[in-house]
């Protein structure tokens, strides 16, 4: 499937959309096209630029990877960048097994333990010339860790590495205008890693122990990591392509072979977790193959579907957003299985004494799908990135600016597509509104079991509506058709959120914090301020 930029018009409103359509790879490039009537009227395409080695200046900055799998890409109708990514991830599975079986810490010295070669080979297949940007970012960041004063090392590394990423995002957005899998993905993960090391250095060298929270004390570093350890941490093959981030202290425990020692002093086995996650990955892959291309996000804004009844159109809206989530479930669950296969990911035991292999899990699928609040959804989605945002932004920003600062950093980290900013600003608004509603309304539903269940049902439905509404601009990337859909819905949820923040407390005064605390069991405490980093 080829992502084509088109200009469409509906009811006098022009908006830019991406639609998935097959096109002959031998078509002329750079000539205006008149596409089929896919939305009830003629659509004039802008000049179509394919990702090639000739037509688009600057493309080598982002993607100049292996074309060995081009025949498979043509046969399946999937872009070669996506084919390369999936194939590299599946190759990582046997590599992870070999690593666990033959390169474990108790079998070889640490000098040979660091899996650099596999990482570089995977990146070369994906990025080729673009690897220069990855190397430049981590090399200069490493130099800054040595040269910067301890009081400012976290700021220097953060400003440089994020600045480099912002430049890449901007240049890529300016040149390519559409999304593709390229150097920016690994660059985003690398930025997370180098900044967490820098903040850990600052905490370990400058702050007193009593000034640090539990997570900061655990991650604090008194010296810059050795070069080999640093490179190994940055480039380890399990997470180098799609993440998620594994924090340095957890990675070094894996290197030393102390990460998975169980209650009886023996190494916990990961096979049950690996099999379970591979089965989940297979199900997600089948769903994507069967339904993924049928539910593309832009269809929500096409007149053909806008003419449906409100109920049918809303059901389609939810289905589209659901199948967008499935793609993330596939990538993150596969990456999690790769980590577990290599022995990385043990995270203690649950309340029933069962081993947990979720240290580097990036999503809690059941929690996302059954969440009764936006906070539960956010806490269970892209978990490792949320923990990184907490480490470098939320915990270090004045309380009144925490939510906005965290959401804005997340938007900038993702890139320059306007859809990201609409989604994250909407998410920040909804988060504040949800907190206000909870304080003003929840205590009225705690009298009986029926009322509590009714409250949970209402918040579950509301969360799913808010999630679909807020994330639509994110999955379409651009200002439109997200803005077009918001206008069609009269910005209704934005207005309701503002009313909840400013009017609801007047109508239903919130329960005092003292009364709210009295409802809690003495043995229970809130973890809103300090959340355990996976």
Question: Which residues carry out catalysis?
Answer: 382, 414
User: 43: which 2 tokens?
Assistant: 């659509």
Tell me whether residue 417 is exposed, middle or buried, using C-beta atoms within 10 angstroms of its C-beta: 0 to 12, 13 to 18, 19 or more. Answer: buried
User: Cα separation of 377 and 382, whole Å?
Assistant: 10
Task: Say if CB 358 and CB 327 are below 8 A apart.
Answer: no
**Cα separation, 259 vs 243, whole angstroms:** 19
Q: Which two tokens stand for residue 269?
A: 């086995």
- Locus of tokens 């009830």: 40
With beta carbons less than 8 A apart as the criterion, state whether 340 and 254 touch: no
Single out the residue of 140, 314, 341, 135 nearest to residue 237, CA to CA. 341
CA atoms within 13 A on the CB side of 220: 19
Task: For residue 33, count other CB atoms closer than 10 A to its CB.
Answer: 15
448 alpha-carbon distance from chain centroid? 38
* Residue found under tokens 């806008």: 306
* Token pair for 444: 């009225």
DSSP-assigned states of every residue in 178-204: S--SSTHHHHHHHHHHHHHHHHHHHHH
Residue 319 CB contacts under 8 Å (≥ 6 apart), including other chains = 295
The tokens 């400058």 sit on which residue?
206
Q: How many residues does the chain have?
A: 534
Question: How far is residue 342's CA from residue 361's CA, in Å, rounded to a whole number?
Answer: 14
């Amino acid at each position: 499937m080829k992502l084509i930029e088109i200009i469409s018009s509906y009811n006098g409103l022009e908006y830019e959309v991406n639609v998935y359509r097959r096109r002959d790879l031998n078509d002329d490039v750079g000539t205006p096209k008149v596409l089929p009537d896919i939305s009830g009227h003629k659509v004039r395409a802008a000049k179509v630029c394919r990702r090639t080695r000739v037509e688009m200046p600057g493309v080598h900055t982002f993607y100049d990877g292996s074309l060995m799998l081009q025949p498979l890409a043509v046969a399946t109708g999937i872009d070669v960048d996506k084919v390369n990514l999936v194939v590299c991830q599946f190759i990582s599975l046997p590599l992870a097994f070999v690593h666990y079986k033959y390169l474990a810490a108790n079998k070889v010295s640490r000098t040979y333990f660091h899996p650099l070669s596999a990482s570089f080979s995977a990146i070369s297949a994906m990025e080729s010339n673009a690897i220069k940007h990855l190397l430049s970012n981590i090399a200069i960041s490493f130099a800054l860790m040595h040269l910067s004063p301890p009081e400012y090392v976290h700021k220097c590394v953060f400003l440089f590495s994020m600045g480099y990423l912002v430049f890449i995002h901007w240049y890529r957005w300016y040149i390519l205008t559409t999304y593709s899998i390229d150097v920016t993905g690994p660059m985003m993960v690398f930025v997370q890693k180098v900044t967490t090391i820098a903040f850990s250095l600052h905490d370990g060298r400058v702050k007193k122990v009593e000034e640090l929270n539990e997570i900061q004390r655990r991650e604090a570093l008194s010296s810059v990591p050795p070069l080999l350890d640093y490179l190994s941490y940055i480039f380890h093959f399990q997470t180098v392509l799609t993440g998620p981030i594994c924090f340095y202290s957890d990675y070094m425990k894996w290197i030393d072979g102390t990460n998975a020692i169980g209650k009886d002093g023996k190494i916990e086995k990961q096979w049950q977790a690996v099999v379970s996650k591979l089965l989940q990955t297979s199900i997600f892959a089948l769903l994507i193959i069967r339904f993924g291309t049928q539910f593309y996000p832009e269809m929500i804004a096409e007149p053909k579907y806008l003419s449906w009844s409100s109920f049918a159109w809303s059901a389609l809206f939810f289905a589209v957003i659901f199948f967008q989530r499935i793609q993330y479930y596939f990538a993150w669950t596969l990456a999690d299985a790769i980590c577990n296969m290599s022995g990385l990911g043990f995270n203690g035991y649950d309340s029933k004494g069962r081993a947990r292999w979720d240290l580097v899990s990036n999503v809690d699928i059941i929690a996302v799908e059954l969440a009764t609040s936006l906070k539960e959804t956010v806490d269970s989605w892209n978990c490792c990135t949320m923990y990184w945002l907490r480490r470098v932004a939320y915990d270090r920003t004045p309380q009144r600016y925490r939510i906005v600062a965290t959401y804005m950093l997340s938007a900038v980290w993702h890139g320059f597509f306007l859809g990201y900013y609409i989604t994250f600003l909407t998410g920040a608004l909804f988060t504040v509104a949800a907190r206000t509603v909870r304080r003003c309304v929840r205590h009225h539903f705690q009298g009986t079991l029926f009322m509590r269940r009714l409250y949970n049902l209402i918040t579950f439905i509301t969360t799913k509506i808010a999630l679909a509404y807020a994330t639509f601009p994110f999955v379409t990337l651009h200002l439109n058709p997200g803005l077009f859909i918001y206008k069609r819905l009269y910005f209704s949820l934005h207005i309701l959120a503002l009313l909840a923040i400013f009017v609801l407390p007047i109508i239903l005064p919130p329960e005092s914090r003292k009364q709210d605390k009295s409802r809690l069991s003495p043995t229970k405490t809130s973890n809103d301020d300090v959340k355990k980093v996976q």
